[in-house]
Amino acid sequence: MQIANDIFSIVHQYDVLFVDMYGVLYGGVGLLDGVLETLEKIKKGFGKKIVIVSNTTQTSAEAQHSYEKYGMFGGLHYDLFITSGELLKHELNSNFLAFSSLFPSKVRAITSLFQWNDAVFQNNPLAKVDSYDDADIIYVGVPKVANNRIGIKDFRDKNGNAIRLEDLVNADWKIIKNSAGKCELAELAELLEDFLRKNKVLLVANPDIFAHGILGDASVRVPLITQGCIGRYYEKLGGKVVYLGKPYRRIFEFAIGCASEKFGNSSWKIAMVGDTPWTDVLGANISGIDSIMTLTGIAEEFFAIAPSHLSETDKIDAFFSEIAIKLVEMSSSKLQQKCRSSECRYGHSNDVGGNVRPSGELYQPVDNDQQNVAQMVFPRYIIRRFAPISN
């Protein structure tokens, strides 16, 4: 296994880089070291195009604006900023007939669990209603309890042991407690059970189960629950969920289409640079795009708990082995076939039998060969970080 230090050993092979934001460029409290210089050099020095592809539910304009305070600007550091929120806005306004066909019945009204993003839902065919009972679709906003983001590492099981990140979806949210001894997710769990009784469909435009950020007044980044975690828990209960974003092929199609319109060409060599095997890497592999995985972000979380005596290569092997085991445990006989079909342009719980997928692993092979599974989430290249370490 060859591991490169940074993107500069690989970038010459490609015309366009699709780059994830969280874990690759942004660390939860600010941009990672050297990112701005690296992006500018890739554009100016190597003449490459850069497209940010993010699962954030902000619109592209909102996302661009949010990173300007860190000195990151369109044109100078990247060419396009594609988000799941922008894709959802496009599907509602310009592709509604195809998008609405994903739902089990005709959709007329929508409401929101957590806060709306008004910029996404302007001027679309759906009526916005306040009542869950009156809605055909329930859009999942950024998860919060008492107006605060929810930190994953706070939760404990009934014996007081910390619940691992990948096990949170399978936990009983009505009984797990945070570090203060409160069942913080109990009310949310009961609400989701009520949705299930009423056959409500959730719309999740960010399939990630967590993202790093700041919790409360702390200055240290922690993993926070995101919309995909709500979707996976609802699926575990037996509910129906429609997903947009990585790893689903539709966002890659959308990004390529936007790039073609802007650059006037579609015959480039493209690579997706990301930190998450089951979103960035998997989505790229399924979409026919080369994948490059950084050892920042998700891998860094795993490495932090891996035995210290393991070499870097052994840690990477263990990382992908654990992912493969999880995928095999949750396998469904229809997944291999479905993931290569047009139906998986979006994520749909019915497409895969509604099985539990705690980390967004919707595309699993039909057999129990862990090596084959791992290949689906294994990147073409691995780099330690996107930007080189400055001397």
Closest CA to 151 of 84, 229, 205: 229
Check if the beta carbon of residue 43 is closer than 8 Å to that of residue 318: no
Task: Report the percent of the chain where pLDDT is more than 70.
Answer: 83
Express each pLDDT in 248-275 by its tens digit. Answer: 999 999 999 999 999 887 678 999 999 9
Distance CA 312, CA 63 (A): 34
Cβ-based neighbour number of residue 53 at 10 Å: 28
Cβ-based neighbour number of residue 98 at 10 Å: 12
Express each pLDDT in 198-222 by its tens digit. Answer: 999 999 999 988 877 776 666 667 7
Contacts of 15 (CB under 8 A, 6+ apart): 48, 49, 268, 269, 270
Q: What is the mean pLDDT of the chain?
A: 83
The confidence score (pLDDT) of residue 387 equals 96
Express each pLDDT in 124-149 by its tens digit. Answer: 889 999 999 999 999 999 988 767 78
pLDDT value at 230 more than 50: yes
State whether residue 339 is helix, strand or coil.
helix
pLDDT value at 332 more than 80: no
Express each pLDDT in 155-187 by its tens digit. Answer: 888 888 888 776 788 888 998 888 778 888 899
Q: Which pTM value belongs to this model?
A: 0.86
Question: Chain-centre distance of CA 6, in angstroms?
Answer: 22
All structural domains of the chain, each given as residue ranges with its CATH number in brackets, are 104-243 (3.40.50.1000)
Give mean pLDDT, residues 351-359. Answer: 29
Distance CA 236, CA 189 (A): 11
Provide the strand spans (E) within 126-275: 127-128, 137-140, 144-145, 148-149, 201-204, 210-214, 221-225, 240-243, 270-274
Q: Which two tokens stand for residue 324?
A: 């493969």
Contacts of 78 (CB under 8 A, 6+ apart): 19, 39, 43, 50, 51, 52, 72
3-state secondary structure 31-74: ECCCHHHHHHHHHHCCCCEEEEEECCCCCHHHHHHHHHCCCCCE
